[in-house]
C-alpha cells in the first residue's frame, strides 16, 4: 500500500505538470488546443485518484482541504467526459490548483 505522502507528492507533481502545460497559454488558447486539454484532464484525474486513495484518518487531519471535491473531479472526468466545461477546467487550474499545491506543500514540509 502506498503511503499518504506518496499520494500527496503525486498531487503536487500533477499540479506542477499542469502549470507547465498552461505556461504562456491564455484561456482561449487552451480551449483551442486539444493536446493541452487532454493533458490537463489527465493530470486532474491523477489528482482526484490520489486524493481518493488518501486514508480517511490522514485526510481528516486536514479538513481545510476539500479532498472529496478533488476526488469528485476525477469521477466527472472519467464518467461525464461529454459534459466537461473547459472554461471551468482552465479557471480551476489557474485559481484553485495553486492554493491546493501550497496547502499540500505545507503538509509535506510538516510531515518530514
Convert the pLDDT of each residue in 83-104 to its tens digit: 899 999 999 999 999 999 999 9
- CA 93 to CA 81: how far, in whole Å? 17
pLDDT at 4: 95
Catalytic residue annotation: 74, 79
Q: What pTM, to 2 d.p., does this model score?
A: 0.93
Model confidence at 24, in pLDDT bands (50, 70, 90)? very high
The total number of residues shown for the chain amounts to: 112
- In sequence order, the 6+-apart residues with CB closer than 8 A to the CB of 15 are 43, 47, 97, 98, 100, 101
Number of other CB atoms surrounding residue 54 within 10 Å: 21
Amino acid at each position: 500500500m502506498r503511503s499518504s505522502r506518496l499520494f500527496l507528492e503525486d498531487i503536487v507533481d500533477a499540479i506542477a505538470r499542469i502549470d507547465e502545460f498552461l505556461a504562456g497559454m491564455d484561456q482561449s488558447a487552451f480551449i483551442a488546443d486539444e493536446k493541452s486539454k487532454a493533458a490537463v484532464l489527465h493530470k486532474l484525474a491523477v489528482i482526484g485518484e490520489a486524493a481518493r486513495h488518501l486514508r480517511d484518518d490522514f485526510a481528516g487531519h486536514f479538513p481545510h482541504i476539500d479532498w472529496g471535491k478533488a476526488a469528485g473531479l476525477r469521477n466527472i472526468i472519467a464518467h461525464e467526459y461529454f459534459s466537461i466545461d473547459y472554461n471551468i477546467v482552465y479557471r480551476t487550474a489557474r485559481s484553485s490548483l495553486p492554493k491546493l499545491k501550497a496547502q499540500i506543500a505545507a503538509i509535506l514540509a510538516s510531515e518530514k
